[in-house]
Amino acid sequence: MANKSQRSTLSAQRSSHDSAEYLKKKAFFEKVLTIYGRNAVLEALQDNTISIYKLHLSDSNKPAKVLDAIVKQAKARNIDIVYHDKKALSRISKNAKQDQGVALDIVLEHFGSVEDFTATHQHYRIIALDGVTNPQNLGMIIRSCAAGNIDAILLPTKGAAQISPLVIKASAGTLFKMPIIKTSNFAATLLGLKQEGAVLYTLSSHASKSYKDQHYSDKTVFVLGNESEGVSSAVEKLCDESISIPMNRGVESLNVAVTAALLAFL
């Protein structure tokens, strides 16, 4: 029989093991995105480059060819199919009015924490989005970054557009190729990157140096702000330098997605 000290040790080991399992599971589900709608789900199932966790269907769905095609495709890929009542499915899709009785869990392999990213990247260029709220802008930014020379996008989990079917559509599928770092504390994450040697830049029409003339370090973060208010004052204070995009004919500013595209191809 184990003594008190041994029991304490075993308990600590179990707690440590449970904690590791919990963290592993949490990290996995942070990469899971649920999409909805019959056509969107079928298109995702037909794309073998997309990793899929689970298919959810309402048990009240009436027979339809598109549903037959969805089930057939899921079975062909050995994807788990789970049936729910209508209310339970709406809790999964978070959009009862538009889910059409169908939801799909997609695993975004390139999603992760800032710690995971910096552990595997000694040099990087990141575009950090401070309160970009328009889903179409986010999708276009993802597309430009995936095509250009950006290594990751830093995206806050609150106060900004989140990954959705509209974002996926605007990104033209490049969402599944682009590393995205999600953070619950945008300013703290930027500060952490800065402390590790990254140089943080904001964009301003009043800055004296053009973005083309700047010498960038091996660790560079471009901070782009909200569509109407720009970068928040708290985040702006963290940034090291401000650069400009020279413009002609009295134009004062560019759409945030256009700005991201220019930076992506530096």
Reported as a single tens digit per residue, the pLDDT across 57-87 is 999 999 999 999 999 999 999 999 999 999 9
Contacts of 193 (CB under 8 A, 6+ apart): 114, 118, 126, 200, 219, 221
What token pair was written down for 124? Answer: 């990087």
Q: What is the pLDDT of residue 17?
A: 58
pLDDT at 219: 98
Q: What contacts 18, CB < 8 A, 6 or more positions away?
A: none
Q: Which two tokens stand for residue 85?
A: 């009542």
| Element holding 7 (H helix, E strand) | helix 4-29
Q: Does residue 5 form part of some domain?
A: no
* pLDDT score recorded for residue 140: 97
Asked whether residue 182 is assigned to any structural domain, the reply reads yes
Residue 189 shares a structural domain with residue 249? yes
The pTM (predicted TM-score) of the whole model is 0.79
16 is a domain residue: no
Write out the residue range of the structural domain in which residue 87 sits. Answer: 32-107
Answer whether residue 199 is part of any domain: yes
What is the per-residue pLDDT for 238? 96
pLDDT greater than 70 at residue 175:
yes
Mean pLDDT score of the chain, rounded to an integer? 90
**Whether residue 6 has pLDDT greater than 50:** no
Judgement on whether residues 124 and 229 belong to the same structural domain of the protein: yes
Distance in angstroms (rounded) separating the CA atoms of residues 36 and 100: 7
Separation between Cα atoms, residue 134 and residue 166, nearest integer Å:
10
CATH assignment at residue 131: 3.40.1280.10
Task: Give the phi and the psi of residue 83 in degrees, each rounded to 5.
Answer: -100, 140
Span of 78-87, 108-117, 163-172 with lowest mean pLDDT: 163-172
Indicate if 38 and 118 belong to the same structural domain.
Answer: no
- Between 16-20, 154-158, 202-206, 244-248, the lowest mean confidence (pLDDT) is in 16-20
Which pLDDT value is given to residue 3? 47
Does residue 121 surpass a pLDDT of 60?
yes
Is the separation of the CB atoms in 69 and 44 below 8 Å?
A: no
| Co-location of 68 and 195 in the same domain | no
